[in-house]
Chain A
Amino acid sequence: MTAIVAEDVSRAYGDTVAVDGVSLSVAEGEVFGLVGPNGAGKTTLVRALVGTTDAEGRAELFGQDPRAVARERVGLLPQSFDPPARLTARELLAYYASLYDDHRPVDRVLDDVGMAGDADTHYENLSGGQQRRTCVATALVNDPDLLVLDEPTTGIDPAGRRQLWDLLSTRAEAGTTVLVTTHYMEEAQRLADRVGLLTDGSLLAVDTPDRLVAEHGGDALLRVQLTGDDGGEATPTGLPDLGYPVERRDGRLTVRGVPPEAVGSVADRLSAAGVGYDSLAWTEPDLEDVYLELTGQRVVKGEAVAEEAVV
């Protein structure tokens, strides 16, 4: 069964179109990542899907209007959620638990999000990451069928973020549908069964991370940091034929489309030609490359492409 359906959903604030004709569906038990930069329309789309904004088009949760679906089935963490500051983490969770007929044991949920040790600390005295984990817990306490998390890991340190990823993966394995928004591409790639890339209120693409990367991610890259204080200018300008397209910029070579098993042979050819290098780094394309490609902002990990092709 389908957990979320959106058909041609749009939302404008005055002349500003926040969401523009978005259609998507999310199956029950699926983890769906909504990815895009700040201002892409993620939060507005989430609000349209859960019924906390008035949008055009059709949105349904579990086959019903979002505002008609049983509240127990949905757990929401809004963006920039700021609960009462002078309640402890345990009191906060007990408060949200009290709003439901059935709920999970508060202490177990606190344990799930790694807050058991600080459960009696006032929210305002928790670190940013602990606050965010407590907020996530408020969305988990009713044991929802659909978990909607709007940028849940913002402000959480890497360790906390991974802990949260594991928690969400566990929930998903238990059958909970998860809709998560993020501007961390790595997070979406790690967590989501499918990803929707959003920009300027429109969905650019929806697919599994692997398929998106395969289709739009471009080539694997081998970066060669040339030897020398002068950034490698002393090395021969006539590079050997490496068998792959090469770009040279700021004392670095970028070799495109090198499979991992060919890295050694490329290194051998450079050495044989007397080209010294300090380091080699091989990277696969990822969702970030997909996003930049689809939005026409393609760069090679922070550098402009192909201004100075040598070979």
Chain B
Amino acid sequence: MSRLRRVRGEFVAASRSFLRRRTAVFFTFVFPFLIVLIFGVLVGTQPTGGGLFAEPVGWYVPGYLAVVVLFTPLSRVGSEVARHREGNRFEKLATTPLSRVEWLLAGTLVNVVVIGAAGLFLLALLVGLTGVSPPLSPALLLLVPFVVLGVALFCGVGALLGALADSQDGVIAASNTVALPLLFLSETFVPRSLLPAWLPTELSPLTYFSRGVRAVTYTGEGTGVGDPGAMLAVLAVLAAVTLAVGARALPTTD
């Protein structure tokens, strides 16, 4: 119960801090809107075979979701770590009962809520603006654990980046450098067939996210689909590992 209360306390404080940064909240939701507007509406997949994208629009749903599941936790958690370090907050927390794992868990929960909302918003935009129609089946509910595990995984990576970078600016630069290749080399927007054969996309954790999400949101032809259960299992293991490594990397000393 003590642990739960500490995580709850950290969650409440972190949520309030985030929700009161209006610019951050605004752009957290504007970002998916822009992504859908640019790639889903303006560029899109043309019925005649033209356009930037070769696959049907529904194939790219995991890519759109990956944008928020990947970028937001990396930059948010990384920046929060940098802010905490610059304000000597970790030094203070090191003398309280709150452990590093609890701190990161609470931060992950905040991100799950925020990105869950942004993900829902994004899905609604996709349905409304691009005509995507995910199959309405119980399997669609698996999107929830996919998003939760995906967010947790990249919160762990974000914590690691925040611990390694020496400033908030450094975190942003590092997270963009990590996120961009992951986004385009993980069978999200670019099908495996268009990537070099030697490129091991299986090394990217986002590949398992996109394959699993595609399995529950896309019914058409195409590659890049995996067994949802297996993909969830891989994501769960990877999330546990990155959270553990991220928590371990958080500073408790100067």
A-side residues, CB < 8 A to B, are 44, 47, 50-54, 71-72, 74-87, 91-92, 94-101, 122, 138, 142, 148
Q: Is B240 an interface residue (CB 8 A)?
A: no
In the bound complex, what is the Cα–Cα distance between A97 and B12 (angstroms)?
A: 13
**8 Å CB interface, B228-254 against A:** 252-254
- Shortest CB distance A182–B (Å): 17
Per-residue CB proximity of B6-30 to A under 8 Å, as 1/0? 1011101100110011000000000
Contact A99 B98 (CB under 8 A): yes
Alpha-carbon separation in the docked complex, A54 to B6 (Å): 26
Specify which chain B residues have a CB less than 8 angstroms from the CB of A122 in the assembled complex.
Answer: 20
B17 — nearest CB in chain A belongs to which residue?
A: A84
Asked if B252 contacts A52 (CB within 8 A), the reply is yes
Interfacial residues of chain B within 62-97, with CB under 8 A of chain A in the complex:
86-89, 91-97
Partner of B254, one of A47, A98, A142: A47
Chain B residues positioned under 8 Å from A44 (CB to CB)? 254
Q: State the Cβ distance, A67 to closest chain B Cβ, in Å.
A: 8
A80 pairs with B88, CB closer than 8 A: yes
Q: Given the complex of chains A and B, what is the CA–CA distance between A103 and B91 in angstroms?
A: 20
Interface centre among A44, A84, A95 (most CB of B within 10 A): A84
Q: List 6 A-B contacts (CB under 8 A).
A: A71-B97, A81-B91, A82-B88, A86-B20, A100-B96, A122-B20
CA distance A100 to B6 in the complex (A): 7
CA distance A91 to B9 in the complex (A): 10
- Number of residues of chain B lying within 8 A (CB) of chain A: 27
Closest 4 A-B residue pairs measured CB to CB?
A: A98-B9, A82-B87, A86-B20, A95-B13
Report if A87-B17 is in contact (Cβ < 8 Å); known contacts: A52-B252, A53-B254, A82-B86. yes
Inter-subunit contact A98/B6 (CB<8 Å): yes
Q: Is the CB of B253 within 8 A of A78?
A: no
* Min CB gap A23→B, angstroms: 21
Interface centre among A79, A83, A85, A99 (most CB of B within 10 A): A99
B97 contact from A72, A77, A83, A87, Cβ within 8 A: A72
Q: Which residue of B lies closest to A146 (CB)?
A: B95
**A95, B9: Cβ atoms under 8 Å?**
yes
Choose among B10, B88, B97 the residue that contacts A95 (Cβ–Cβ < 8 A).
Answer: B10
Determine whether the beta carbon of B21 is less than 8 Å from that of A87: no
Closest residue of chain B to A70, judged by CB? B97
- Judge whether A78 and B88 touch: CB under 8 Å: yes
Chain B positions within 8 Å of A101 at CB level: 2, 97
A276 to chain B minimum Cβ distance, whole angstroms, is: 56
Q: How many contacting A-B pairs (Cβ < 8 A)?
A: 88
Residue of A nearest to B98 (CB): A99
Nearest Cβ distance between residue B107 and chain A, in whole angstroms?
Answer: 12
Contacting residues, chain A, for B95 (C-beta < 8 A): 50-52, 71, 74-76, 148
Pairwise interchain contact B91-A100, C-beta atoms closer than 8 A? no
Expressed in whole angstroms, the minimum distance between the Cβ of A10 and any Cβ of chain B is: 15
- When the two chains form their complex, are residues A83 and B89 in contact, meaning their CB atoms are under 8 A apart? yes
Q: When chains A and B are docked, how far (Å) is the Cα of A148 from the Cα of B252? A: 17
Using CB atoms, name the residue of chain A closest to B90.
A52
A81 x B92 contact (CB < 8 A): yes
Closest chain-A Cβ to B114's Cβ sits at a distance in Å of: 15
Least CB distance, A106 to chain B, in whole angstroms: 12
Least CB separation from A75: chain B residue: B95
Q: Which of A52, A76, A86, A138 has the most CB of B within 10 A?
A: A52
Q: Which residues of A sit under 8 angstroms from B92, Cβ to Cβ?
A: 76-78, 81, 83, 138
Is A99 touching B252 in the complex (CB atoms < 8 A)?
Answer: no
Q: Decide if B16 touches A91 in the complex (CB within 8 Å).
A: yes
For the complex, give the distance between the alpha carbons of A224 and B8 in Å: 65
Q: Determine if A99 and B6 form an interchain contact, defined as CB atoms under 8 angstroms apart.
A: yes
Assuming A52-B252, A54-B253, A87-B16, is B91 touching A96 (CB within 8 A)? no
A52–B91 touching, CB < 8 Å: yes
With both beta carbons as reference points, the residue of chain A lying nearest to B252 in the complex is identified as A52
Is the pair B86, A98 in contact by a Cβ cutoff of 8 Å?
A: no
Determine the residue in chain A with the shortest Cβ distance to B14: A84
Report chain B residues within 8 Å CB of A47.
Answer: 91, 253-254
Contacts A51-B94, A52-B94, A52-B254; A98 near B89 (Cβ below 8 A): no
B28 to chain A, nearest CB (A): 16
Q: Pick the contact of B87 from A83, A86, A98 — CB < 8 Å?
A: A83
Q: For A138, list chain B residues within 8 Å (CB).
A: 92
Please name all residues of chain B whose beta carbon is closer than 8 Å to the beta carbon of A98 when the two chains form the complex.
5-6, 8-10, 12
B79 to nearest A CB, angstroms?
13
Instruction: List chain B residues, Cβ under 8 A from A92.
Output: 13
Cα A60 to Cα B5 with chains together (Å): 29
Which chain A residue shows the least CB distance to B21?
A86
B12, B92, B95 interface centre (most CB from chain A within 10 Å): B95
CA of A84 to CA of B80, assembled, Å: 10
A59 to B2, CA, bound (A): 28
